[in-house]
């Protein structure tokens, strides 16, 4: 009860602050406020124009999202579109858990401007060639927290898609031969899954529209229903053809 009351008061204070921040009707400068909003009629001219350029020629699969986000205008959990009258969204998933502190966190920006991130991965061309004490210490910490058997740490610079791509390539490189003595070329994924926007991860994504145009010779994904009995059947029928199984623990 105390926690609910505290949350209720916090929300009331937030709403009051947003009302106070609202720009005056004839203000010379229209300042963005931290509140969710949809522009009148839902029209997003700049976003629409930029997306039409992006989708021209159908080289990029069309998305359902109508807005283009300007990360320079985003703050905290709020996503702001590039439009003059922007759409402002509350990102309840923290960019799929990649921005736990939100956009433009003061401490992160201060560290960036002060050069505190200079020794991090994006400033290191190859952590296997140029040693980084910071990365080595971080890898040791991860190994100390990991379950038994997870002895190796590898770094990527572009997020989950690159991590999945690297994992599948390592599995292919180190996996056993198939029953016919040839390298295995199939990955088992699950219906409804999404694994990223690189070639292999798109190839292992369930949505056919996402896989369009990224077929690769020598690579095939099999998609299993989210059912234990179906999984056992597929493993019995195709186990000798698989070099990896990729699982999305929480599908959104």
Give the DSSP per-residue string, the chain. -HHHHHHHHHHHHHHHHHHHHSPPTT-SS----SS-B--GGG--HHHHHHHHHHHGGG-SPPPS----B-TTT-BBTEEEBSSSS--EEE-TTHHHHT-TT-BT-HHHHHHHHTTTTTTSGGG-S-TTTS--HHHHHHHHHHHHHSPTT-------SS-HHHHHHHHHHHHHHHSPB-TTSSBP-EEEEETT----SSHHHHHT-S-HHHHTT---TT-EEEEE-S-HHHHHHHHHHHGGGEEEE---SS--
CA distances from 97 to 29, 94, 159, 215, 252 (A): 34, 5, 11, 29, 12
> What per-residue confidence (pLDDT) applies to 233?
96
What is the model's pLDDT at position 121?
A: 58
Give the pLDDT of residue 246: 96
Residues 6+ apart with CB under 8 A from 210: 61, 194, 202
| Dihedral of the alpha carbons of 51, 57, 58, 64, in degrees to the nearest 10 | 20
User: What tens-digit pLDDT sequence spans the chain (252 residues)?
Assistant: 345 677 667 767 766 665 565 555 565 555 555 678 888 888 899 999 999 999 888 777 777 888 999 988 898 899 999 999 899 998 888 777 778 888 988 888 888 888 877 766 565 567 777 778 888 899 999 999 999 988 888 888 777 889 999 999 999 998 888 888 888 999 999 999 999 888 899 999 999 888 888 888 888 999 999 999 999 999 999 999 999 999 988 775
Record the pTM: 0.62
């Amino acid at each position: 009860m105390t926690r609910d009351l505290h949350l209720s008061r916090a929300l009331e204070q937030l709403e009051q602050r947003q009302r106070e921040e609202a720009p005056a009707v004839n203000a010379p400068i229209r300042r963005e406020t931290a509140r969710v909003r949809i522009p009148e009629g839902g029209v997003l001219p700049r976003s629409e124009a930029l997306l039409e350029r992006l989708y021209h020629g159908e080289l990029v699969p069309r998305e359902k999202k109508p807005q283009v986000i300007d990360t320079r205008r985003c703050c905290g959990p709020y996503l702001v579109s590039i439009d003059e009258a922007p759409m402002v969204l509350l990102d309840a998933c923290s960019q799929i858990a990649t921005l736990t502190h939100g956009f433009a966190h003061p401490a992160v920006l201060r560290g960036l401007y002060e050069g505190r991130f200079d020794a991090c991965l994006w400033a290191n061309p190859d952590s296997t060639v140029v040693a980084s004490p910071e990365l080595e210490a971080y890898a040791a910490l991860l190994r100390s927290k990991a379950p038994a058997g997870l002895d190796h740490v590898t770094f990527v610079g572009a997020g989950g898609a690159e991590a999945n791509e690297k994992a599948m390539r390592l599995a292919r490189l180190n996996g056993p031969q198939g029953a016919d003595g040839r390298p295995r070329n199939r990955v088992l994924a699950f219906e409804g899954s999404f694994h990223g926007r690189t070639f292999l991860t798109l190839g292992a994504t369930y949505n056919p529209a996402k896989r369009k145009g990224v077929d690769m010779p020598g690579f095939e994904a099999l998609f299993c229903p989210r059912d234990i009995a179906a999984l056992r059947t597929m493993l019995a029928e195709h186990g000798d053809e698989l070099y990896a199984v990729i699982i999305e623990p929480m599908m959104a």
